[in-house]
Amino acid sequence: MAFTERAEVSLGMGLATAAIVWGVFNTSLPSIAEARVTTQNDSQLAAAEKTATWVSAAVVAGVSLISKDATVFVLGGATIVALAWMHRHANLVHPEVGTATMPASSLNTPQSYSDNVYTMNATA
């Protein structure tokens, strides 16, 4: 891949590709604010984010190969990384705490502790 001779054409194509990536994420996923207040670590949001990431990557790769311009790839790829990270982080935010925390399913719960405790029989 090489840069085109005219920077204004290259930059315009790169920004147009970034706008297409934004459009894919915008139509595939709810807003960041809505993702932050839903259930933490929602599997449906995670699947939608992965789908949007792969579709965007295919679009960026296609436009980059057709235009033979590295600027398109750099701007489109940076937009994919930024939007995917923002949506993944929003999916990990606990709605009551307001920050990203460890999902509750991976923590040891009191029930899992009690499963491992042997009760002593006083009448034995």
Q: How many structural domains are present in the chain?
A: 1
Residue 72 inside a domain? The answer is yes
> Residue 73 is which amino acid?
F
Residue 124 inside a domain? The answer is no
Q: What is the CA radius of gyration of the chain?
A: 22
Per the listing, tokens 């790829």 go with 77
pLDDT at residue 101 is higher than 80: no
Q: How confident is the model at residue 88 (pLDDT cuts 50, 70, 90)?
A: very high
Q: What is the pTM of this model?
A: 0.75
Residue 93 inside a domain? The answer is yes
Q: How confident is the model at residue 113 (pLDDT cuts 50, 70, 90)?
A: very low
The per-residue pLDDT for range 3-62, each reduced to its tens digit, is 556 777 889 999 999 999 999 999 999 999 998 888 888 899 999 999 999 999 999 999
Orientation angle between helical segments 43-67 and 70-91, nearest 10 degrees = 180
Orientation angle between helical segments 7-28 and 70-91, nearest 10 degrees = 30
Residue 21 inside a domain? The answer is yes
Residue 123 inside a domain? The answer is no
User: SS3 for 77?
Assistant: helix
Cβ–Cβ contacts within 10 Å for residue 80, how many?
24
Residue 121 inside a domain? The answer is no
Domain that holds residue 45: 7-115
